[in-house]
Amino acid sequence: MKYVDEFRRGDIARGMAAHIRTLVQPGRQYRLMEFCGGHTHAIARYGLTGLLPENIRLIHGPGCPVCVLPIGRVDSAIELALRPDVILCSYGDTLRVPASNKMSLYQARAKGADVRMVYSTKDALQIARDNPHKQVVFFAIGFETTTPPTALALLQARQEKLANFSVFCNHVLTPPAMRHLLAAGDAVELDGFIGPSHVSTVIGSAPYAAVATEFAKPVVIAGFEPLDVLQAVAMLVEQINAGRTEVETQFSRAVTLQGNDKARERVAQTMTLRDSFEWRGLGQVPHSALAIHPDFAEFDAELRFTLPYRHVADHKACECAAILRGQKQPQDCKVFGIVCTPDNPLGSCMVSSEGACAAHYHYGRFVQGATA
């Protein structure tokens, strides 16, 4: 496939890894956080850690949409889904996220709730058109990549006057989460960020400038293919060696300074910044999520239905919170691979392929940090 295969060539990967080995300074540690689950997945799948010198450590970040969704929000979605007048739609992985009382949206479906898996917001709109006597709620989750499609669905619903459609909005933002990780009292020590690919296609590289300058950390926005990750690592090592803390774009084939204007405008039109939002693992993060814009209040599920929010603690054994903050690894969790597996996830990091626990489970050769 064009734009994929060329960025997966093994011989080039080995050559680039050799190049990185000549760049690293002995005795220096390079602790690089890959913010995005897409990178976590690529690193695990292609065994990139094994190619890198030992003093480069890759640390997983919280950029996995279903991982950071707090139990309380899934509980609200389940509550909605159990109403007889509601059809609840969401993306596949969301349906498997464990919530309170051993429930998930899948289990709610087994209990008779009408829960539908959709591939696109267009499917959710079609379900609303086909079921005029039901309330059709789209349970919207995801980062800046997934937000513009929700925005377009809101605009379309307005245009068609689809009165039985609404959105339960849980969209979250990347740069505020990065700042929060760095500002936390118990912050993980980092020397730089591998920045998100597709999120940056939408928001551009400009929003990371504040993170780079305020916290003096270099950010290199990288593509999701293995050669992209290796090149970004090389760029970060060079910045760290030179004491530079800049935002650079390795994924220049799809990221510009300002991003996708059309997408950003649609989002600004239909959604508004929340004062604060709870993330699994990170807790309350100020200005880190979007709600439906007051102009689109008629499509806001949080206004249409009463959905009181309750904070619910994670399962006692689950280490997702520390993993999402970069402080622990999946292997540090006592139930990893034993009680908690992708078929039967106990925590959210085991649910989707971008989750750190699921990535470690599927690609076991990824043994970074294991006692060697």
Partner 1 sequence: MCLAMPVRISQLLPDDMAVVDMDGVSREVSVALIDAPQEGDYVILHVGYAIGKLDAEEAARTLALMDQLAAGEQA
Residues that bind ligand SF4 in the complex, under the rule CB under 6 A? 317-320, 323, 330, 333, 335-336, 340, 345-347, 349-350, 357
Q: Which of 30, 34, 38, 173 binds partner 1 (CB under 8 A)?
A: 38
- Shortest separation between residue 330's beta carbon and ligand SF4, angstroms: 5
**Measured from the CB atom, is 166 or 197 closer to partner 1?**
197
Q: Which residues pair with 88 in a beta bridge?
A: 115, 137
- Shortest separation between residue 198's beta carbon and ligand SF4, angstroms: 24
Q: Which of 26, 84, 101, 119 binds partner 1 (CB under 8 A)?
A: 119
66 binds partner 1 (CB under 8 A): yes
145 binds partner 1 (CB under 8 A): yes
Q: Which of 6, 85, 214, 295 binds partner 1 (CB under 8 A)?
A: 6
285 binds partner 1 (CB under 8 A): no
Q: Which of 143, 165, 208, 279 binds partner 1 (CB under 8 A)?
A: 143
Cα within 13 Å of Cα(24), Cβ side: 19
3-state secondary structure the chain: CCCCHHHHCHHHHHHHHHHHHHHCCCCCCEEEEEEEHHHHHHHHHCCHHHHCCCCEEEEEEEECHHHHCCHHHHHHHHHHHCCCCEEEEECHHHHHCCCHHHCCHHHHHHCCCEEEECCCHHHHHHHHHHCCCCEEEEEEEECCCCHHHHHHHHHHHHHHCCCCEEEEEEEECHHHHHHHHHHCCCCCCCCEEEECCHHHHHHCCHHHHHHHHHCCCCEEECCCCHHHHHHHHHHHHHHHHHCCCCEEECCCCCCCCCCCHHHHHHHHHHEEECCEEEECCCEEEECCEEEECHHHHHHEHHHHCCCCCCCCCCCCCCCHHHHHCCCCCHHHCCCECCCEECCECCCHHHCCCCCHHHHHHHCCCCCCCCCC
> Which of ligand SF4, partner 1, none does 6 bind, CB closer than 5 to 8 A by kind?
partner 1
36 binds partner 1 (CB under 8 A): yes
Kindly list the distances between the CA atom of residue 278 and the CA atoms of 49, 116, 173, in Å, as whole numbers in the listed order. Answer: 31, 25, 12
**Interaction with partner 1 in 16-35: which residues (CB under 8 A)?**
16, 18-19, 22
63 binds partner 1 (CB under 8 A): yes
> Which of partner 1, ligand SF4, none does 121 bind, CB closer than 5 to 8 A by kind?
partner 1
- Shortest separation between residue 189's beta carbon and partner 1, angstroms: 26
- Cβ(102)–Cβ(315) below 8 Å: no
**Measured from the CB atom, is 269 or 331 closer to ligand SF4?**
331
- Shortest separation between residue 318's beta carbon and partner 1, angstroms: 20
> Which of partner 1, ligand SF4, none does 260 bind, CB closer than 5 to 8 A by kind?
partner 1
In angstroms, the CA 196 to CA 100 distance is: 31
**Measured from the CB atom, is 190 or 227 closer to partner 1?**
227
> Which of ligand SF4, partner 1, none does 231 bind, CB closer than 5 to 8 A by kind?
partner 1
**Interaction with partner 1 in 265-284: which residues (CB under 8 A)?**
266
Q: Which residue is nearest to ligand SF4 (CB)?
A: 347
Which positions lie near partner 1, rule CB under 8 A? 1-4, 6-7, 11-16, 18-19, 22, 36-38, 41, 63-66, 91, 93, 119-123, 141-143, 145-146, 148-149, 152, 196-199, 201-202, 224, 227-228, 231, 234, 250, 252-255, 260-263, 266, 352-354
